[in-house]
């Protein structure tokens, strides 16, 4: 049962501040960093708890920042609460999670314990290989910005009988938004960026989950990303026509008509959580990184290994390792051996180019090649080359000195290094 006493219990509050600190994040409107939260709570925690109990606690305005989307020129608004408000939100979120995990759908995977993008994709494959190969690719227009407060509070009140908890959540929903120094009231939506926002989104969309389950429609949802699975195009068309009124008239949400489409699961247009799907020769449906995900990967690798960044080799190595490990681990379940192989050839050439650039002077290049075992005459011949950095990076002299083994020993991590170790189970 979710009560204010349960939320303000010391163990729950301690767990909340630990999670807020672990999640890091930028400072809110008051400028307090999360690293300063513990000291602040040690001094002011008891009076904060008393103000919440008395109903006098008032969240500060949410700082709005705009995060670029994949589509050029488009941005996603992100709301950054203060560290103190994040602490209170996290304490509420933990108790909401305990309560609502009992009723959330097995087909909902976003922001839930022991669930992930990978479990969502796994369920997509299971359904597709059972013959549900036509999908209604649902796109909710500006979902987080258009959540109806009254509807959400009504849904919360059905399970939470402590009106003080409902009032506290309402205060967070109504917290003003500060953008460009101007504060504006918030009457709709649940801003992305606060700890409580994901579970409120799941509570709202759980109504859609239940409706689909009542009607026997298989689906997979991760937050507001959802695909409904059908066995034929006609069935998908009927499903969309039937569910649209519920979304718009009962939940007061809007479908993005341009992006909501009916598609065959193996279509290149299907992109779910960065993955796409394809049919093998035998007909089995498998997953792979979507082409846009691959393009994004290459773009980021190009940025990290840019010669113009003027960093040390250690800095290059550290950034590259962090990105490569994160990207490969995210898509590890997918078939991407060819992409990994081809990208690594290009990436190692980029790394060799970094070395050639870092050596700068002719004398430095000459000494470096000599240390790598090149004869004086050959070293002198190549350090005087007029070829571009990129062409030189592909020359046999660097390929035979800055070998793959050399780069590996120096700590450079390429996609294949992580992919092979993980797929062989020795990483």
pLDDT digits (tens, 9 = 90+) for 68-121: 877 777 888 899 999 999 999 999 999 999 999 999 999 999 999 999 999 999
Is pLDDT above 70 for 292? yes
Is pLDDT above 80 for 244? yes
The share of the chain scoring above pLDDT 70, in percent, equals 99
pLDDT at 249: 97
Residue ranges of E strands in 280-387: 285-289
Rounded average pLDDT over 297-321: 91
- Average pLDDT of the residues of the chain: 94
pLDDT at 426: 40
Contact 90, 20 (CB under 8 A): yes
What angle (nearest 5°) sits at the alpha carbon of residue 340, between those of residues 395 and 331? Answer: 155
Residues in the chain: 427
Rounded average pLDDT over 373-393: 84
The HSE-up count of residue 216 (CA atoms within 13 Å, CB side) is: 3
Is pLDDT above 70 for 427? no
CATH architecture of 108-148+188-289: 2-Layer Sandwich (3.30)
The HSE-up count of residue 273 (CA atoms within 13 Å, CB side) is: 25
Rounded average pLDDT over 368-397: 85
pLDDT at 170: 98
Is pLDDT above 50 for 424? yes
Is pLDDT above 50 for 141? yes
Is pLDDT above 50 for 328? yes
Contact 107, 121 (CB under 8 A): no
Using the 8-state DSSP alphabet, how is residue 246 labeled?
Answer: I
User: Could you tell me which residues come within 8 angstroms of residue 97 by beta carbon, excluding any fewer than 6 positions away?
Assistant: 112, 113, 199
Taking the domains of the chain in order of start, what are their residue ranges?
Answer: 1-100+160-177, 108-148+188-289, 291-423
What is the Cα–Cα distance from 277 to 289, expressed in whole angstroms?
8
pLDDT digits (tens, 9 = 90+) for 186-227: 999 998 899 999 999 999 999 999 999 999 999 999 999 999
Helix (H) or strand (E) holding 152: helix 149-159
Nearest-CA neighbor of 140 among 45, 248, 212, 59? 248
pLDDT at 379: 83
Rounded average pLDDT over 354-360: 89
Using pLDDT thresholds of 50, 70 and 90, give the confidence band for residue 425. very low
Using pLDDT thresholds of 50, 70 and 90, give the confidence band for residue 354. very high
What is the Cα–Cα distance from 264 to 206, expressed in whole angstroms?
26
- Greatest CA span in the chain, whole angstroms? 85
Buried b (16+ CB within 10 A) or exposed e, 269-292: ebbbbbbbbeeeeeeebebbbbee
pLDDT digits (tens, 9 = 90+) for 143-183: 999 999 999 999 999 999 999 999 999 999 999 999 988 89
User: Pairing mode, if any, of strands 134-139 and 225-230?
Assistant: antiparallel
pLDDT at 397: 87
């Amino acid at each position: 049962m979710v009560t204010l006493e349960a939320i303000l219990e010391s163990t729950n509050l301690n767990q909340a501040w630990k999670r807020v600190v672990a999640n890091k994040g930028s400072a809110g409107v008051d400028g307090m960093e999360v690293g300063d939260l513990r000291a602040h709570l040690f001094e002011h925690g008891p009076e904060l708890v008393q103000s919440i109990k008395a109903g006098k606690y008032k969240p500060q305005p949410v700082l709005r920042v705009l995060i670029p989307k994949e589509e050029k020129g488009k941005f996603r608004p992100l709301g950054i609460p203060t560290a103190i408000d994040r602490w209170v939100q996290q304490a509420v979120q933990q108790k909401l999670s305990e309560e609502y995990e009992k009723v959330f759908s097995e087909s909902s995977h976003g922001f839930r314990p022991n669930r992930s993008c990978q479990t969502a994709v796994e369920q997509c494959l299971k359904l597709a290989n059972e013959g549900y190969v036509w999908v209604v690719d649902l796109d909710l227009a500006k979902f987080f910005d258009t959540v109806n407060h009254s509807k959400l509070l009504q849904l919360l009140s059905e399970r939470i009988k402590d009106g003080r908890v409902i009032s506290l959540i309402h205060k967070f929903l109504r917290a003003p938004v500060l953008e460009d120094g101007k504060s504006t009231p918030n009457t709709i939506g649940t801003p992305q960026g606060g700890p409580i926002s994901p579970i409120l989104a799941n509570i709202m969309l759980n109504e859609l989950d239940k409706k689909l389950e009542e009607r026997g429609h298989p689906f997979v949802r991760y937050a507001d990303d959802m695909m409904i699975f059908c066995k034929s195009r006609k069935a998908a068309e009927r499903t969309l026509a039937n569910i649209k009124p519920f979304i718009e008239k009962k939940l007061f949400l809007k479908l993005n008509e341009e992006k909501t489409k009916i598609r065959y699961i193996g279509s290149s247009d299907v992109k779910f959580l960065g993955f796409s799907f394809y049919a093998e020769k035998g007909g089995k449906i498998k997953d792979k990184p979507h082409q846009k995900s691959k393009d994004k990967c290459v773009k980021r690798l190009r940025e990290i290994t840019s010669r113009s960044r003027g960093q040390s080799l250690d800095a290059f190595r550290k950034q590259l390792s962090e990105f490569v490990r994160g990207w490969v681990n995210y898509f590890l379940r997918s078939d991407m051996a060819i992409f990994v192989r081809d990208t690594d050839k290009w990436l190692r050439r980029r790394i060799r180019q970094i070395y050639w650039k870092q050596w700068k002077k002719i004398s430095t290049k000459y000494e470096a090649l000599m240390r790598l075992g090149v004869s004086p005459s050959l070293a002198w011949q190549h350090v005087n080359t007029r070829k571009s950095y990129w062409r030189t990076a592909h020359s046999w002299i660097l390929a035979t000195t800055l070998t793959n083994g050399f780069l590996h020993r120096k700590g450079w991590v390429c996609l294949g290094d992580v992919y092979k170790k993980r797929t062989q189970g020795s990483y």
